[in-house]
Amino acid sequence: MKDEIIQEINSSNKKSRLYGLEKIYKLIEIEKEQFKKTEEVNNHVHTIYSFSPYSPSMAAYLAWKAGLQAVGIMDHDSVSGCKELIEACKIIGIASTVGFELRVNFSGSIVEGRKLKDPDSKNLGYIAIHGIVESKLPEAKKFLNPIQIARNKRNKKILAKLNNLIKSYGMEEIDFNKEVYKISQAKEGGSITERHILFAFAKKIIQKTGKGKKLISFLKDNLDIVLSEKIKKFLLEENNQFYLYDLLGILKSSFLDKIFIQPDYDECIS
């Protein structure tokens, strides 16, 4: 029963997620289950509103279970999960902070030409905006809207480059609306990132090769990705529930540069 309720916390419906969290909180209180409390906080958590396996409610639940004193949402270019995290943390009785993360252009500054926190771009770095009060979230959303629009224009160009490549692999092209937009929370104000595109590509690879040895061979022979023995071991574990995310991580670190397009000034404040 508890496992079913926990799955509800990560469902596609916000009301169901919060209701599920209330149920699991009451159940744990009745069973007098104790989570060991720590002095730690994590104020930089991504959720489904940028890219993550976890809803804001699930992020709050896992933070509570880990004994954290506070948890903070920090999605890329989006504040649409903030209210849910605030509500979720109130239910379970831990502190919350809300904000967002975005790219900033450092051209013309003393760090021009360097790779900063963004692993894909020179002159660009990620800035975390912490501690937005709930009443100011609509203003933050309005500020981020043109950035999301600019990012989606670039996302479509990146996908076009990827589709040109995957034709030679004997795969069907990835449809932006059906296979990228659909797996995001863009309809509810979430952002679409390169990870969504690579996640769709990871699905295509698995559809073509299956998991395991054939997939490893595909990465080596077609994508020129050199894998360590440790990573190969992960990819041979076909029952790994995070298999797609592990494959995504490989594509992010070893393939993305082949299709990446630099953000322009409309997407990065300076």
The answer to whether the predicted template modeling score (pTM) of the entire model surpasses 0.85 is: yes
Q: How much is the average pLDDT of 19-31? A: 87
Per-residue model confidence as pLDDT tens digits over 49-72: 999 999 999 999 999 999 999 999
pLDDT of residue 120: 64
Spatial separation of the C-alpha atoms in residues 200 and 123, rounded to whole Å: 28
Residue 45 belongs to domain spanning: 2-258
Spatial separation of the C-alpha atoms in residues 218 and 207, rounded to whole Å: 12
Q: Is residue 266 a part of any domain in this protein?
A: no
Model confidence at 122, pLDDT cuts 50, 70, 90, reads: confident
Q: How much is the average pLDDT of 72-87? A: 98
pLDDT of residue 119: 60
- Name the residue with tokens 């996640």: 199
Q: Is residue 27 a part of any domain in this protein?
A: yes
Q: Is residue 268 a part of any domain in this protein?
A: no
Look at phi and psi of residue 108 and say left if phi exceeds 0, alpha if psi is from -120 to 50, else beta: left
Cα dihedral 209, 212, 218, 221, rounded to 10, equals -150
Q: Is residue 269 a part of any domain in this protein?
A: no
Q: Is residue 267 a part of any domain in this protein?
A: no
Which residue would you say has higher pLDDT here, 154 or 34?
154
Q: Is residue 79 a part of any domain in this protein?
A: yes
- Number of separate domains in the chain: 1
pLDDT at residue 106 greater than cutoff 90: no
Q: Is residue 87 a part of any domain in this protein?
A: yes
Task: Tell me the residue type at 197.
Answer: I
Model confidence at 117, pLDDT cuts 50, 70, 90, reads: low
pLDDT of residue 6: 87
Q: Which of 50-54, 81-85, 102-106, 261-265 is predicted most confidently?
A: 81-85
pLDDT of residue 32: 64
Least confident range of 101-105, 111-115, 159-163, 187-191? 111-115
Spatial separation of the C-alpha atoms in residues 263 and 270, rounded to whole Å: 12
Q: How much is the average pLDDT of 231-260? A: 93
Look at phi and psi of residue 174 and say left if phi exceeds 0, alpha if psi is from -120 to 50, else beta: beta
Q: Write down the mean pLDDT value for the chain.
A: 92
Q: Is residue 158 a part of any domain in this protein?
A: yes
pLDDT at residue 31 greater than cutoff 70: no
pLDDT of residue 110: 86
